[in-house]
Structure 1
Amino acid sequence: MRLSSMADYAVVTMTAAARHCGGARISAQQLAEETGLPAPTVQKLVSKLSAAGLLKSVRGARGGLKLARPAAAITLADIIEAVEGPIALAPCSTPVRQDCTCSLEKDCTVRPHWPVVDAALRGALSAVPLTQFARPVAAEATA
Structure 2
Amino acid sequence: MKKEDITANEKTVIEFLKMLENRKSSNELDRFYHPEAQQIEFPNALTKQTTTRSLQELKEASEKGAKILSKESYEIKNLLPSGHTVVLECVWRGTLAVPVGAIKAGGQMVAYFAQVFEFKEGKIFRQRNYDCFEPFS
Q: TM-score, normalised by structure 1?
A: 0.30
Higher helix share: 1
The structure with the greater share of residues assigned to strand is: 2
The normalised TM-score by structure 2 is 0.30
